[in-house]
Amino acid sequence: MPSLDFDLEESNFRAFYAQQSAALEDACAALTALVAATVTQAGGVDITKVEGRVKDADECIRKFIRKYRPALEESNTPYDIQSYITDLIGVRVVCLYEDELEKIAQIMRAHFAVIDVTDKVSAVESTEASFGYKGLHLDLRLSAAERSLPEHAAYAHLPFELQVRTIIQDSWSVLDHRIKYKKSIPGQLKRRINVLSALFELADREFRQIRDATAAELLQAPDETAEPLPDAEADGDVDGARAPAKVAAGSSELNAFTFLKIATHFFKEFEFEPSKVDSFVDDIQVWSPSMTRARFNALMRETVGVVKRYKQHFEEHNPKASFNPYTVIRHCLYLSNKTAFRPALRNSARESFESWLQEHGEPKAH
């Protein structure tokens, strides 16, 4: 029964915590896995980690004393501490960009029952003298449908706190908690902390804007596959050594953006990872420094049919081996100019390809 005897209620809470400790850890692991699966299945956001924790008993007591005890005792309202600790179990989702915070919150609202929402963005921005991290906190519990499932019976009654942060906010939070005596430090130190907090906020914004600008560059990249190539661009050497005479300087460059436009035309179902694209384009530019986007598109058109036939032969004889689009492109490059693009294939891959070409007839040079 709730009471106004704090010592008794603290003792009761500690006894509950000790008795339920193992069950709380199990519930935390299950809820963390459920949140991770929910966000992953929804898609559309870049998640760096999902982690959970059970709040320390002493921390729970301190939170109750700070937030609830004075008002409850002032109003002569009996209490039990457990009922006021809605974040006994906490789950944290860390994403890359600040505009994904609300997307994740919407996913959670659609799959869990919302008890309360705390918007740290508004809390920080409404106080000029405040410093701290931004993010969203949601107090949640399983939805009615989920609570009725037998596999959730052990923790169906438990609320949990979900923290949603960007990776920058998460880093700031870790560092912020290392700053001691924040309420008592001199004003000039508080100002320096505020400046540092602003720099973290700026970094969040800049990463998002760089992401958006990069996406815009990809959309604006010339599309060599949209229509037949002009004769001026189609007449370069096969290895790209001679730049097209009628193409403006810089406009014919093969870079990550123009490579993706062409590569995704040939391999529509494949997702090209940005970091790998950067490295692969670097390799192409080393092998053929004057390679243009038009020449790359032309050589792909000239050779991809032959290479795809070889791919089918290779996979039939090597069912466990990988022959992904990068491998196809490497073979296309090699077939277009065996001298310039010799490094594109390892010795064993080159020998196997040459053997197949001799058996099936070398395609005529274009």
Q: DSSP code of 98?
A: G
Give domain 6-209's CATH superfamily.
Beta Polymerase, domain 2 (3.30.460.10)
Residue pair 290/265 in contact (Cβ under 8 Å)? The answer is no
Tell me, what's the pLDDT at 280? Answer: 95
CB 136 within 8 A of CB 102: yes
Q: Identify the CA nearest to 161 among candidates 28, 285, 318, 309.
A: 28
Residues 6+ apart with CB under 8 A from 179: 185, 193
**Residue 326: predicted pLDDT:** 96
CB 328 within 8 A of CB 307: yes
**Element (DSSP H or E) covering residue 113:** strand 112-119
The per-residue pLDDT for 235 is 38
- On whether the CB atoms of residues 252 and 233 are closer than 8 A, the answer is yes
Nearest alpha-carbon partner for 296 in 248, 340, 350: 340
Using CB atoms within 10 Å of the CB of residue 226, give its burial: 0 to 12 exposed, 13 to 18 middle, 19+ buried. exposed
CATH 3.30.460.10 location in the chain: 6-209
Whose tokens are 């949601």? That residue is 138
Decide: helix, strand or coil at residue 62. helix
Alpha helices in 267-360 (DSSP H): 274-287, 293-317, 325-336, 347-360
Rounded to whole angstroms, what are the CA distances from 292 to 41, 236, 284, 303, 327? Answer: 39, 9, 10, 17, 20
Stretches where the chain sits below pLDDT 70 are 119-134, 181, 224-251, 361-366
Cα(158)–Cα(151) distance, rounded to whole angstroms?
A: 14
Count of residues in the chain: 366
Pairing of strands 89-95, 112-119: unpaired
pTM to 2 decimals? 0.66
112: β partners: 142
Q: How far apart are the first and last CA of the chain?
A: 89
Distance, CA of 135 to CA of 227 (rounded, Å): 47
> How far are the Cα atoms of 100, 208, 229 from residue 132, in angstroms, in the given order?
20, 20, 56
Distance CA 208, CA 100 (A): 10
| 300/353 Cα distance (integer angstroms) | 17
